[in-house]
Structure 1
């Protein structure tokens, strides 16, 4: 998809994309990836996946720093591999 093409042009094989309307991050490495909650929480400290509640969301600095650290310390390949080890996905990434 578009994220994979952008990643290939700009970042070779690693990408982190914010999918605003879903409230998630797409973490890509090579041909694999994983969805992660975005670093935005409501006033009660809860995520709003899919933005269903319509409440204001605020950047959670702790979550942001975890994502930033993962990027800066080049931990994305191992993160994606760990997440996919125990996952069974009948559709695969090709269906997205």
Structure 2
């Protein structure tokens, strides 16, 4: 009798939630100030090109030879372990999203825009940047629906160097 009740509880209306990317702060300066001088958990150094995995929140070295394992850089390795060869990273010093899919990568663009709705790639203009919820939803939807290959056309090989 008790086993039947337990089974009934398991079968009734399971609550499934769709996978989500990290919840990001509205102001890019919060991310930049926190991660700009943070040390990598693998090499214990401040990365020249820090990146944040938007799937799990891991902080990694982009293109860093310091964290290479068997000739593969840390971002590529992380994308293999975290996202089954799909990685979504926010490049801290550039405010740009990079997508890694297998042996390829592409620059997706930025989810942080200035007051005029423009990207500030590489943070050259120094204007305050704010999260564009619409762009972030589009990025998340492309990730959930596995449509990066169909939507993004500028893919290039990364040669395990990211």
TM-score normalised by L of structure 1: 0.81
RMSD, matched Cα:
1.8
SS of 2:76's equivalent in the other structure is helix
Q: Which residue of 1 aligns with 2:158?
A: 93
| Deviation per residue, 1:38-62 (Å, 9 max, x gap) | 1000011110000011111000111
Q: Count the aligned residue pairs.
A: 89
Q: Which structure's CA Rg is the greater one?
A: 2
Measure, in 2, the Cα distance between the counterparts of 1:11 and 1:66.
18
1:63 CA drift (Å): 0.7
- 1:15 aligns with one of 87, 101, 110: 87
Which residue matches 1:60? Answer: 132
What residue number does 2:116 align with? 44
Shift of 1:83: 2.6
In terms of fraction of residues, the more helix-rich structure is 1
Residue 154 of structure 2 aligns with which residue? Answer: 83
Contact 1:14 1:76 in 2 (8 A): no
Counterpart-to-counterpart distance in 2, 1:33 and 1:79? 13
Structure 2 unmatched ranges of 5 or more: 1-72
Structure 1 runs (4+) greater than 4 angstroms displaced: none
CA deviation after TM superposition for structure 1 residue 78, in Å: 3.0
- The whole-number CA distance in structure 1 between the counterparts of 2:100 and 2:149 is 8
Correspondence 1:28 to 2:100: yes
